[in-house]
Amino acid sequence: MIVVLAIDALEYKKVLEYNCENLKQHYFGKTDISEFSQPRTMVLWSSFMTGENKEKEVLGEGNKEMWSKKWNLDETFFKNFKNPVVLDLPGYSYELDVHEKSRKLLKEFFETEDKDKKLQTKQEYNKDAFDHHKKIKEQFFKALEEDHDFVLGYFSVADVIGHLNFGDNLVMKMIYKDLDEIAGQVKEKADKIIVLSDHGMEAVGVFGDHSTYGFWSTNFKDLGNPKITDFFDVLGNL
Amino acid sequence: MVEKEHMKIVIVGHVDHGKSTLIGRLLYDTGSLPPDKVEEVKKTCEALGRDMEFGFILDHLQEEREQGITIDTAQIFFNTDKRDYVIIDAPGHVEFIKNMITGASQAEAAILIIKAEEGLQEQTKRHAYILSMLGLKQLIVAVNVFDFDNFTQEKFNQLNDEIVDFLGKIDLKPSYVIPISAKLGDNIANKSEKIDWYSGDTVLNSLDTFALTKRNTDKGLRFPIQDAYKVEDKRIFAGRVESGVINKDDEVVVLPANTKTTIASVEKFLEEPVKAEAGESIGITTKDPLFIERGNVVCKEDDMPKVTDTIKANVFWMSKQDFDADESITLKLATQEVTANIEKIERRMNSSTLEEIQRDDNLLKNNEVGVMVIKTNEPVIVDNFNYVPELGRFVFERDNITSAGGIITNIELEKI
């Protein structure tokens, strides 16, 4: 079984700082996403699965509309597998409602001046993110028990929680530890594993903004400083 | 104000056997953790669908310390009704052993944690060996139970026998072996309901039974001489009282010559005291005109250190240049300075991995610990490190540079 842990906004520096051995695996490094004008989640995952820079195409859909974009199996490297399962990946199997709600709450949080409302929004935002994380985790572990030759799990918790809490080391550490344990459990099930993020994150006060490189690791090959489109071939040829 | 007594403890054990959970538990059950952080971690753990983990709070506290937010140094505090406790922590084995040996910190009691399901692992044994090396006598073994369903009294008794047997071989005798659950808090501050067959003390109660190291003033007199001066027609012997009390008219013994005399006066700059106690720098004069020189130690007959030219010690080498056991080296102990040769190195250990060194040479490299028998060219006056640390601890100097720290923990083995 080949497994990809697709972790939104997993930050290279934090993986090192928190010493997340399972996320690091044997080989790890930064990805080069300098070809993109900005580190945008939908653009990056689209380019990842299709093996082509899809920035223009995705942005052409419109700021709001792009989140509904869905690539066909034939356009992705998933087609190379007999029985793949791809969980919650933006541009493919994304649970639009959940993520739309997150974005809406985030906007509300920054727009409101009312302190109580801010706190309440933040709590709801965090709760939704954690609940969704638990749900995807469950689906992911279930998929690992099933008969698939390829499993991809997309985890958004580090990004979503990070946007409002990246400067809170305690919370971020707990999230990284949880992700690290997920990677640890994958190790027992999969032959070849790739951990990949679209971009990382840097602190802006207590908040977090996307950083201009991603994180990768494998248990089988040193990939150097790959572009996100390189994974199309790396995974397609396994 | 009456100062509440405090005891320094150290907690050791295999990395996966629940050490930080136990520390977290001790702190949590004694109300020593910041409640808002506990709440935050609790909530986040719940949100992530995990069990409560104290490790995060400890990390957080550590981080605050590193950033200098809290004033405390690398020490963690909790307290019982009886006294305050300080958990001595160090970032790694190397620092820990170095701190203990060089006197940066010295524990008075230890807790060795062992996971019930795994028993005595190699790493546990190595940690136990450190305790033995440091000569710690007040020891609790906490058997940390992860799975109550499969843990019986019979299993506990069996493990207890194994533990006591192993520790006995390295000269350690646990005062208590307690089945605990660090995670759930069984037998830490509160009695366990699940382990109903265990009727002994909790960890906190056991700690409270341990004796504090005597205050330096309550020990026998040790007054190592730094210098002798002649002021007018008086010969004054100056130094620092390391332990005990010295009074005018006290009958004393000067070592190593073993000469008896009486204190004529206790002198202090601009003062005329009649007594001085541990920690004070003073001068003395004696009734008899004696030849006393730097390195001599003034004591009293009822409590004497050992005078010997052979010591067994644990030496922590901390120089990048290797030590060859065939070379002569300067040994400094309190104000004494002698030339030392190594009779034999009995055992060597890597202080980072705690593994015994099997190399086929006679060297001690950086960060290695050697148990060695040292022969000095003149007799030295020594104490057990755990009694009077100031006379139980020494350094090796090579070319005037401190290259190693050593401690003497088993004085009974010494001979002249």
Kindly report the average pLDDT of chain B as a whole number.
88
- Please report which helix (H) or strand (E) contains residue B260, including its range: strand B259-267
Would you list the domain boundaries of chain B? Answer: 6-209, 216-299, 306-413
Q: Which residues of chain A have pLDDT under 70?
A: none
Average pLDDT over residues B90-96: 70
The answer to which of A110-119, B93-102, B129-138, B389-398 has the lowest mean pLDDT is: B93-102
Architecture of domain B216-299: Beta Barrel (2.40)
Structure tokens at B264: 């004529």
Q: Is the pLDDT of residue B72 over 60?
A: no
pLDDT in tens, A17-62: 999 999 999 999 999 999 999 999 999 999 999 999 999 999 999 9
Question: Which pLDDT score, from 0 to 100, does residue A238 have?
Answer: 81
pLDDT over 60 (residue B2): no
From A130, A169, A170, residue closest to B48, measured CB to CB: A130
User: Is A137's CB within 8 Å of B49's CB?
Assistant: yes
Which one of A133, A134, A170 has the shortest CB-CB distance to B60?
A: A170
Write the pLDDT tens digit of every residue in B313-351. 999 898 899 999 999 999 999 999 999 999 999 989 888
Query: Given pLDDT bands bounded at 50, 70 and 90, which one contains residue B412?
Result: low
Task: Round the CA-based radius of gyration of chain A to a whole number and report it.
Answer: 17
Quick: pLDDT tens for B265-303.
Answer: 998 877 778 889 998 999 999 998 888 999 999 999 999
pLDDT digits (tens, 9 = 90+) for B7-53: 999 998 887 888 888 998 999 999 988 888 888 888 888 888 888 88
Q: What is the distance in angstroms between the Cα of B59 and the nearest Cα belonging to chain A?
A: 8
- Show which residues on chain B lie within 8 Å of chain A, measured between beta carbons: 37, 40-41, 44-45, 47-50, 53, 56, 59-60, 63
Query: B131 and B139 in contact (C-beta within 8 Å)?
Result: yes
Q: Which of chain A's residues have a Cβ under 8 Å away from the Cβ of B59?
A: 170, 173
C-alpha to C-alpha distances, B58 to A49, A187, B4, nearest whole angstrom: 41, 28, 25
| Best B38, B48, B51 residue to mutate vs chain A (most A CBs within 10 Å) | B48
- Please measure the distance between the N-terminal and C-terminal CA atoms of chain B and give it in whole angstroms: 47
Interface residue A161 vs chain B (CB under 8 A): no
Pairs of CB atoms within 8 A across A/B = 32
State chain A's mean pLDDT as an integer: 94
Question: What is the distance in angstroms between the Cα of B28 and the nearest Cα belonging to chain A?
Answer: 17
- What is the predicted pLDDT for the residue at B330? 96
Put simply, the answer to whether B40 touches A170 (Cβ < 8 Å) is: yes
Q: Does A124 touch chain B (CB under 8 A)?
A: no
Q: What is the CA radius of gyration of chain B?
A: 24
Nearest to A178 among B48, B59, B60 (CB): B48
All residues of chain A having their beta carbon less than 8 Å from the beta carbon of residue B50 are 178
CA A194 to chain centre: 12
| B47·A126 Cβ contact <8 A | yes
> In the CATH hierarchy, which top-level class contains the domain B306-413?
mainly beta
Task: For residue B108, give how far its alpha carbon lies from the nearest alpha carbon of chain A (Å).
Answer: 32
Q: Distance between CA A211 and CA A222 in Å, rounded? A: 22
Q: What is the mean pLDDT of residues B252-277?
A: 90
Asked, colleague to colleague, whether B6-209 and B306-413 share their fold, the answer is no
Q: Residue B416: pLDDT band by 50, 70, 90 thresholds?
A: very low
Predicted pLDDT of residue B313: 92
CA distance B178 to B143: 6
Closest Cα in chain B, distance from residue A178 (Å): 8
Examine the pLDDT at B104 and tell me if it is beyond 90: no
Q: How far apart are CA B367 and CA B407, in angstroms?
A: 15
A212 near B CB under 8 A: no
Q: Which residues of chain A make contact with B45, given a CB cutoff of 8 A?
A: 174
> Chain A: nearest CA to B56, how far in angstroms?
7
Where is B363: in which H helix or E strand?
Answer: strand B363-364
Does ipTM come in above 0.90? no
Identify whether the C-beta of residue B241 lies closer than 8 Å to the C-beta of residue B200. no
In the structure, what pLDDT confidence band is assigned to residue B3 with cuts at 50, 70 and 90? Answer: low
- Select from B49, B50, B63 the Cβ nearest to the Cβ of A169: B63
Residue of chain B whose Cα is closest to the Cα of A179 = B48
Largest CA distance in chain B: 82
Q: Which CATH architecture has domain A2-236?
A: 3-Layer(aba) Sandwich (3.40)
What letter would DSSP give residue B30? Answer: T
What is the 3-class SS of chain A, one letter each residue?
CEEEEEECCCCHHHHHHCCCHHHHCCEEEEEECCCCCCCCHHHHHHHHHHCCCCHHHHHHCCCCHHHHCCCCHHHCHHHHCCCEEEECCCCCCCCHHHHHHHHHHHHHHHHCCCHHHHHHHHHHHHHHHHHHHHHHHHHHHHHHHCCCCEEEEEECHHHHHHHHHCCCHHHHHHHHHHHHHHHHHHHCCCCEEEEECCCCEEEECCEEEECCEEEEEECCCCCCCCEHHHHHHHHHCC
Q: Which residues of A touch B60 (CB under 8 A)?
A: 169-170
CATH number of B6-209: 3.40.50.300
Q: Higher model confidence: residue B75 or residue B80? A: B80
